[in-house]
Structure formats: structure tokens, C-alpha cells
């Protein structure tokens, strides 16, 4: 083990399967297994891939003294966490997750995360959250600060968080958690398992249908092994997770998003709720509302690249050779059989079909702006 790196509850299982372990977000994680990234990517698109994402930051944001009225309890906890974000939590239906953003006072993105409302009436006044691995300590500290004496953050990142993704994920999951297939995209619920149960959500980071399971630490290895005993399921590393999310046009924090990037620049306008815009009651509202009004200097765009893949940091130029942006994510798309990339360009150059170039190894290669996602999402919406 590399000094200072943490291990997930499934570390030894990865090593036993031939996982190539690398440092990632402070953890020792499998980037791939014996079949390699390309094969793992294609298996997930065609069958079901199982990912260990226990390095992420699952937790619960909970009122210290919830009201006996479930709706009042939810309204109270929503009012607190909404101070950090531009999204809607107050009207979130029971059993639903929502994608949102933690913002700084300048409207920059501190992190993107999921926030969910439990289904059971007795759990109102509590919210499930999942934040990114590299930012989770700071994210939880921000939540604790805004909670004050009214609420508390209960971290759950000492357990296992597993993602099962792909067109055969639901059938495989049903064999272990009967009834879990009734969940639709962005729904969550508690599922009986052994003596404690599992928090299941129909979410993921691949563009495919699938689930994420928060599994008690003591059951992690057995749960992992039971899923892998299904011939439709194979273990998948972080390498394929990255190529899958790139094809899905999903931004990666620390690359496509950071504290200088606004939701509008990132094309995440849907994460800024109508009520919140009208009230202008979220961090960075002045900047974000101005950008929605047209004061926008750059936007995230998808690129189809000719030649070798363009990597993060590559310059994007217009046809006159002027630098007009930068690549933030790039690589080879196994599904499309060609290089693709995401980056930021001037708004007037972001229309699909716009011809640009990207710098690769000292040469300018042709690129064309395209709509995202590169590969259509296949979420199960019921």
C-alpha cells in the first residue's frame, strides 16, 4: 500500500481479482482489471458493470430535533441546506434524489452532489447526500457550518458504496434485492438485506440505467461477491468509469468544474431552480442571474476530434488560429470508435457544427462542436 492512502472495504477483493491499484482522491483504487479498460467499458454498455465507489462521500444531513409533522420537518431541513445551493429541496418529493451544486459567494462550483429525501414519513427532517471524493471533507465541513445547532452531518463513507450500471443491471440487482427494480431514475429507498438493509438509488455516472448501493461495511465483501456471481456482472475500474461518463457528457469535478466555473458556464442551468432565481437567495446569485441574462464569456461544449485524442489542457482554436478555449476532459470513445472531448469556448463558437482545432502534441487537429451527450443516456424513467 502506498503510504498515506486509504483503502475501501473492498480493497483485498480488488487485488484478488487482479485489479491494478492506483492512487485516486486519497484512496488506493482499481483503475482496471485483467480484461482492460476497453473491454470493461463495452461490457458495461452491453451487460452490467460493478464499480467500487466507496471513496465517494455518502452521508445524511439531519435535524437535531425534527418536528412531529413530516412536512414541517422536511421544510426545516430543506431551508438549511438550500443556503449552500441554487437548487430546489423544499418541493422534493419523498423518495427522490436531485442533482445540485454547492456554490461559493462568487457563484463558482465548490462541488456537484446528490441530495435526496427519504420516502418513509418517520425519516422526514433528514436528507441523504453524496458528494465527491476529493472534496468531501470540505463539503461536509460546509454543511456542518450551515447546520449550526439546528442539524448535524452523519458521514457514512466508512461503509461501501457500489455502483451497478448497464442494461442488465436491474435484472442482476433483483436477484439480491427483490423489488429494487421498481425504483425509477433518481429515486431512492431502503431495501432489506441481511440484518441491516441497504440504501438503494437508481442513479449512476455512466449514462446507463443502474443503481448505487450504500452497503454496511460488514456486508460489503459478501454483497460484492454475490453480485459478481451473476454471469451478467463483471468488475469495472475507474478507467472505464471515466470513459463512460465522458461519452455521457457528464462533467468531472476538478476537471470540467471548479470554483471558478459557474453553473451556467458549465451548461448546468437545470440545477438553478426557478423559485431560487426569482428570490435570488443563493450564493453567487448576482453573477449567475447576469449570465442567464446573456453576460456569459464561456460555455462547456462537446467536441468530435480528428486524429489522436485531445487531453485536458489542450488549447482550442478557431479557424483563424486564435486560442478560444481549453479542453477539460478528453479521450477515446470505445462506443463511437473515435476521440471525443469537452472543453470551454466562447458562446458564439458553441453551436453544433462549428469547426475548430485542438492542440495535440504540438499539432493542430480538426475538431467539430457537437451536442452532448455523445452517447445517448438510457436511464429508466418508468
pLDDT digits (tens, 9 = 90+) for 65-118: 989 999 999 999 999 999 999 999 999 999 999 999 999 999 999 999 999 999
**Inter-CA distances, 91 with 151, 263, 343, Å:** 19, 21, 33
Q: Give the per-residue pLDDT at 66.
A: 86
Main-chain phi, psi angles of 246, to 5 degrees: -65, -45
Percent of the chain scoring above 90 in pLDDT: 98
Q: Which three cell numbers stand for residue 187?
A: 429515486
Cβ atoms of 302 and 370 closer than 8 Å: yes
pLDDT digit string, tens, across residues 41-65:
999 999 999 999 999 999 999 999 9
Residue 1 is predicted with a pLDDT of 43
Average pLDDT over residues 282-298: 97
pLDDT at 184 exceeding the cut of 80: yes
What is the pLDDT of the chain when averaged over all its residues? 97
By DSSP bridging, strand 126-131 and strand 109-116 are antiparallel
- Cβ proximity of 308 and 289 under 8 Å: no
Q: Is the pLDDT of residue 347 over 70?
A: yes
Q: Which residue in 139, 82, 143 sits closest to 112, CA to CA? A: 139
Average pLDDT over residues 258-270: 98
- Cell numbers describing residue 38: 476497453
Give the residue among 364, 237, 252 at the shortest CA–CA distance from 306.
Answer: 364
Q: Fill in the DSSP letter of residue 170.
A: H
Question: What is the pTM (predicted TM-score) of this model?
Answer: 0.96
What are the structural domains, with CATH classification, of the chain?
11-55+158-247 (3.30.1360.120), 57-154 (3.30.70.1400), 297-382 (2.40.30.110)
Cβ-contact 56, 241 below 8 angstroms: no
pLDDT average, residue stretch 256-265: 98
pLDDT of amino acid 2: 59
* Residues 299-342 pLDDT 10s: 999 999 999 999 999 999 999 999 999 999 999 999 999 999 99
* Contact predicate 105/88, CB 8 Å: no
Give tens-digit pLDDT for 118-136. 999 999 999 999 999 999 9
> Which CB contacts under 8 angstroms, 24+ apart, belong to 82-85?
82/276, 82/281, 82/282, 83/146, 83/282, 83/283, 84/142, 84/143, 84/146, 84/283, 85/115, 85/282, 85/283
What is the pLDDT averaged over residues 198-212? 98
Q: Are 125 and 96 in contact (CB under 8 A)?
A: no
Amino acid at each position: 500500500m502506498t503510504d498515506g492512502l486509504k483503502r475501501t472495504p473492498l480493497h483485498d477483493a480488488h487485488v484478488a481479482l487482479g485489479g491494478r491499484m492506483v492512487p485516486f482522491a486519497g484512496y488506493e483504487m482499481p483503475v482496471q482489471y485483467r480484461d482492460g479498460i476497453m473491454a470493461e467499458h463495452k461490457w458495461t454498455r452491453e451487460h452490467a458493470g460493478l464499480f467500487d465507489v466507496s471513496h465517494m462521500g455518502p452521508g445524511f444531513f439531519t435535524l437535531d430535533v425534527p418536528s412531529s409533522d413530516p412536512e414541517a420537518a422536511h421544510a426545516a431541513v430543506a431551508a438549511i441546506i438550500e443556503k449552500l445551493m441554487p437548487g430546489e429541496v423544499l418541493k422534493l418529493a419523498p423518495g427522490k434524489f436531485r442533482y445540485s451544486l454547492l456554490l461559493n459567494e462568487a457563484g463558482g462550483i465548490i462541488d456537484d452532489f446528490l441530495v435526496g429525501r427519504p420516502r418513509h414519513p418517520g425519516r422526514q427532517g433528514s436528507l441523504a447526500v453524496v458528494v465527491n471524493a476529493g472534496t468531501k471533507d470540505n463539503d461536509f465541513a460546509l454543511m456542518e457550518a450551515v447546520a449550526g445547532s439546528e442539524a448535524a452531518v452523519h458521514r457514512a463513507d466508512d461503509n461501501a458504496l457500489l455502483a451497478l450500471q448497464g442494461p442488465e443491471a436491474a435484472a442482476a440487482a433483483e436477484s439480491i434485492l427483490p423489488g429494487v427494480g421498481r425504483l425509477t431514475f433518481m429515486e431512492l429507498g431502503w431495501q432489506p438485506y441481511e440484518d441491516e438493509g441497504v440504501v438503494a438509488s437508481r442513479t449512476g455516472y455512466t449514462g446507463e440505467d443502474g443503481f448505487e448501493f450504500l452497503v454496511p461495511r460488514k456486508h460489503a465483501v459478501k454483497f460484492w461477491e454475490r453480485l459478481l456471481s451473476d454471469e451478467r456482472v463483471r468488475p469495472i475500474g475507474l478507467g472505464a468509469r471515466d470513459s463512460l461518463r465522458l461519452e455521457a457528457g457528464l462533467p468531472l469535478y476538478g476537471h470540467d468544474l471548479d470554483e471558478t466555473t459557474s453553473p451556467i458556464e458549465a451548461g448546468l442551468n437545470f440545477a438553478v431552480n426557478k423559485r431560487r432565481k426569482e428570490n435570488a437567495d443563493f450564493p453567487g446569485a448576482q453573477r449567475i442571474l447576469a449570465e442567464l441574462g446573456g453576460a456569459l464569456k464561456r460555455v462547456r461544449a462537446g467536441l468530435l476530434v480528428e486524429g489522436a485524442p485531445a487531453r485536458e489542457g489542450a488549447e482550442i482554436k478557431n479557424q483563424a488560429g486564435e486560442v478560444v478555449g481549453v479542453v477539460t476532459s478528453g479521450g477515446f470513445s470505445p462506443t463511437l470508435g473515435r476521440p471525443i472531448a469537452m472543453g470551454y469556448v466562447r458562446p458564439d463558437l458553441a453551436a453544433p457544427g462549428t469547426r475548430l482545432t485542438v492542440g495535440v502534441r504540438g499539432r493542430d487537429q480538426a475538431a467539430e462542436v457537437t451536442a452532448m451527450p455523445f452517447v445517448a443516456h438510457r436511464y429508466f424513467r418508468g
